[in-house]
Structure 1
Amino acid sequence: MISELSVELPPEAQALLNTATRTETPCGTDTLVWHVWGQATRHPALPPLVLLHGGSGSWTHWLRNITALADSGRWVLVPDLPGFGDSAAPLHGTDADALPGLVEQGLQCLVGDAACDLVGFSFGGMVAGFIAEQFAARVVRLVLVGAPGLGVAPPKAIRLNAWRHLAEPAQRDAVHRRNLAALMLLHSESITEGAVRLHEANVLRDRMKGRSLSRTDVLAQSLARVQCPVYAIYGREDALYRGLGERLGPALRRAPGFKSLTWIEASGHWVQFEQAAAFNAALLAALKADR
C-alpha cells in the first residue's frame, strides 16, 4: 500500500479528505482503501452509494461530487480501486476484469448484503458493469459515466506523453497539462493548478499497467446480462467519443434495463469535475428516477 503522505493533495482535496472516514478491506496480501462520507447523516431508506474512479485515478476523481451526494442523504463509499491510489494491486491481472471480486469482498465487509447504487467513471465504469453482471444482488441501479468498453472508440487510441523520465517539476507539469487536455478536460481554464496536482498524485500511484479492455466491447457484452436499471452520463465533447456519440445509445441499449443517456454540455471526459453542478444534478436525478 502507498501512503497518502507520499503525495501532496491540493487544499480542496485535503479539506474533503479530512472529513472522511478511512477504512480498509482485504486486497490480496494487503488492503483496499476506502473513504466514506455521510454514514451518520444518511437517509435510512436510501441504499449505500458506491463511486468507482477512472484509470490512473483515485477517490479524488469524485472531488467535486462527494459533498453534494452526502448532503442529499447518501452514504457515500469511495474506494481507491486495487492498483491505484493507496490500495494494493491485485495478485492477478492488470485490467478491469481483475477487480470486481475484490470490490465485492470489500463491500461485504462494509455493508454486508445491502444492495447499492453503483456509479462508475471511465475504467471504473467497466468495473461497475462487471460487478452488476457478476454480483447482481449487490446492485440496485448502475450509472455509467464516460465508460469505455462499448465497442465504440476512435480509430486511433489517444496517446499520452511520457513524463517519468523528466527531472524538472516544471517539465512534468507541462506534460501533465498536455495529457489532461488530450484526454480528460475540454477547456483550458479547467486545467487549474489543483487539477494538475490531483492528476499528478494519481498517475504517480498507478500500478495497473498494460490495460487494453477499454478498446473492446467487453462492457457492452456484460450489459446484455445486467438486469438492474442502467443510466449513463457522458460529456458532450468526451475525447473518447468525439464524432461517435450516435453510436453510444445502441451500445448502451444492450442492457435490458437501460433507461437513459444524459449528455452534459461543454464538457470533456472528466465530466463530473469539469461541469460538476450539471453532473451532480444529472446523477441525483438518475438515482431518484425509478424509486
Structure 2
Amino acid sequence: MAATVQPAPPPAADCSSGAEWGIHADWLWRGERCHWRVLGEENAPALVLVHGFAAGSGHWRRNAAVLAAAGWRVYGIDLIGFGASSQPSLRLDNRLWARQLQAFLEQVVQGPAVLVGHSLGGLVALSCAVFFPQLVRAVVAAPLPDPTLLLAGSSSPPRRRPWQRRLQRWLVTLLCQLLPLELLVPLIAHSPLLDLGIQSAYSEAVIGDRDLHRLIARPARRPGAVRALRAMSIAMALRPHGATAPALLRRLGRPLLLIWGQRDRLVPVQVAQQVRRLRPELPLTVLPGSGHCPHDEHADAFNAALLQWLDQLPAAETLSGPGR
C-alpha cells in the first residue's frame, strides 16, 4: 500500500533539523494511520529511528540531520498509540509494534535497514530484528528497557497452567481498568506535572524547552491517549516469555549496540550489565552525565558514537534478505 504524503507543519527555519525535521507523510497499516518522516538522499542506506514511550519521531530532532549528512537515508516512525499516529485500543505491545515496523520496512522503506531505538523503541527494534531478521541489518538500543532484565540471570519461568494464565489475564485487566486514567492523564498532560515527568528523564535542566514539552504534550492531550495507554499497559503486562528482552536477546542474530546514559534514573546503567550477562560480546557505550535520553541530551556524543559503530557494519549486500 502506497504511503500518502501530507504537508509538514511549518518549520521554524528549515525541515532538516528541529522537532519538525524531514518530509512528513502518513501511511495506512491495518486501517490505522501511521505518521512517519524521512530525510536524506533516496539511494542512501536506510536507517529507521524508533522513539520511546510518550514521545514521537520529533524526539530525534538533534540526530536526523547529522545522520543524513553522514550518508544515511533517515526515517522516523511514530508507533501506533504515540506521536501523530492512531491511538486505538489494540493490544499494544512490542510484538504488534515489531509487525508495524516490519510492514514499514517492506512497504515504505522497501528494504532492510539499521534500526535505532530509544528506550521502548529499542525493545521494539530488538523484537523486529528477532522476528524479521531479513529486514534488519543491525540494531541500536539506547537504552534497552524491560523489567524482566532484572531477572536476566535466572532460569526461564516455569510454564503456567491454562487456569493460571486466565487468572493473570483477568487480574491484570481488572487492575488496569480500575486505574483512573481518565483523570490522571489529562491532569498530568495539562499541568506542570508533565514538565516534572519529562525532567525525570534528563540529567540536565530541560524545563522551559518548549519544543520538547510540545512533542510530549500533543499526543498526551489527544482523545485516544487514555485508551491507548490502558491497552498498552494490559498488553505489555501479559506478554509471553518469548517477547521479553532476555528471550529476544538469546535469539538475536544481528549486530547490537547498547548506548546508555550514565545518570539514567529510569533505566539505570546497571541494567546494561544484566544485558551483557546474557550477551557478553555486546558493545556498550556509556555517555557520562547523560540521563535517560542520551540522543537528545548529549546529541553530539551520541551521534559520534553511533556513526563510529555504523562505519564498522558489514555492507548491506552481505546480509540475507531483500536488497535496496
Q: 1:107 aligns with which of 77, 102, 105?
A: 105
State the alpha-carbon separation in 1 of the partners of residues 261 and 124 from structure 2.
20
1:38 matched residue in structure 2: 40
Residue 92 of structure 1 aligns with an amino acid whose one-letter code is: L
State the alpha-carbon separation in 2 of the partners of residues 12 and 211 from structure 1.
38
Question: How many residues are matched?
Answer: 268
Alignment of 1:1-291 (within 5 A): 11=12, 16=18, 20-40=22-42, 43=44, 47-89=45-87, 92-112=90-110, 114-149=111-146, 151-152=148-149, 162=184, 164-165=186-187, 172-182=190-200, 184-189=201-206, 192-205=209-222, 206=225, 207-209=228-230, 210-211=232-233, 213=236, 218-242=244-268, 245-252=269-276, 254-255=278-279, 258-291=281-314
Residue 109 of structure 2 aligns with an amino acid whose one-letter code is: V
Q: 1:214-258: CA deviations, max 9, x gaps?
A: 89981121111010111100111111234xx344234245348x5
Residue 233 of structure 1 aligns with an amino acid whose one-letter code is: I
Bigger Cα displacement from structure 2, 54-63 vs 211-220: 211-220
Bigger Cα displacement from structure 2, 58-67 vs 201-210: 201-210
Q: Which runs of 5+ in 1 are unaligned?
A: 154-160
State the alpha-carbon separation in 2 of the partners of residues 251 and 80 from structure 1.
26
For residue 262 of structure 1, report the CA deviation from its aligned partner: 0.4
2:122 aligns to what SS in structure 1? helix
Q: Is the 8 A contact 1:152 1:215 kept in 2?
A: no
Q: Is the 8 A contact 1:10 1:194 kept in 2?
A: no
Q: Is the 8 A contact 2:112 2:134 kept in 1?
A: yes
1:152 and 1:138, CA in 2 relative to 1: closer, same or farther beyond 3 A? same
1:19 and 1:193, CA in 2 relative to 1: closer, same or farther beyond 3 A? closer
Q: Is the 8 A contact 1:52 1:119 kept in 2?
A: yes
Residue 211 of structure 2 aligns with an amino acid whose one-letter code is: G
Q: 1:163-217: CA deviations, max 9, x gaps?
A: 5137xx9xx35212211122x1112257523322222124335434343748998
Q: Which runs of 5+ in 2 are unaligned?
A: 1-5, 151-182, 315-324
CA-based RMSD of the aligned residues comes to: 3.3
Residue 224 of structure 1 aligns with an amino acid whose one-letter code is: R
1:51 and 1:214, CA in 2 relative to 1: closer, same or farther beyond 3 A? farther
Residue 67 of structure 1 aligns with an amino acid whose one-letter code is: A
State the alpha-carbon separation in 2 of the partners of residues 215 and 251 from structure 1.
22
Residue 32 of structure 1 aligns with an amino acid whose one-letter code is: C
Q: Is the 8 A contact 1:49 1:118 kept in 2?
A: yes
For residue 25 of structure 1, report the CA deviation from its aligned partner: 2.8
For residue 134 of structure 1, report the CA deviation from its aligned partner: 0.3
1:156 matched residue in structure 2: none
Q: Which has the larger radius of gyration?
A: 2
State the alpha-carbon separation in 2 of the partners of residues 278 and 261 from structure 1.
14
For residue 90 of structure 1, report the CA deviation from its aligned partner: 5.9
For residue 151 of structure 1, report the CA deviation from its aligned partner: 2.8
Residue 176 of structure 1 aligns with an amino acid whose one-letter code is: L
So what's the TM-score if we normalise by structure 1?
0.80
State the alpha-carbon separation in 2 of the partners of residues 12 and 215 from structure 1.
45
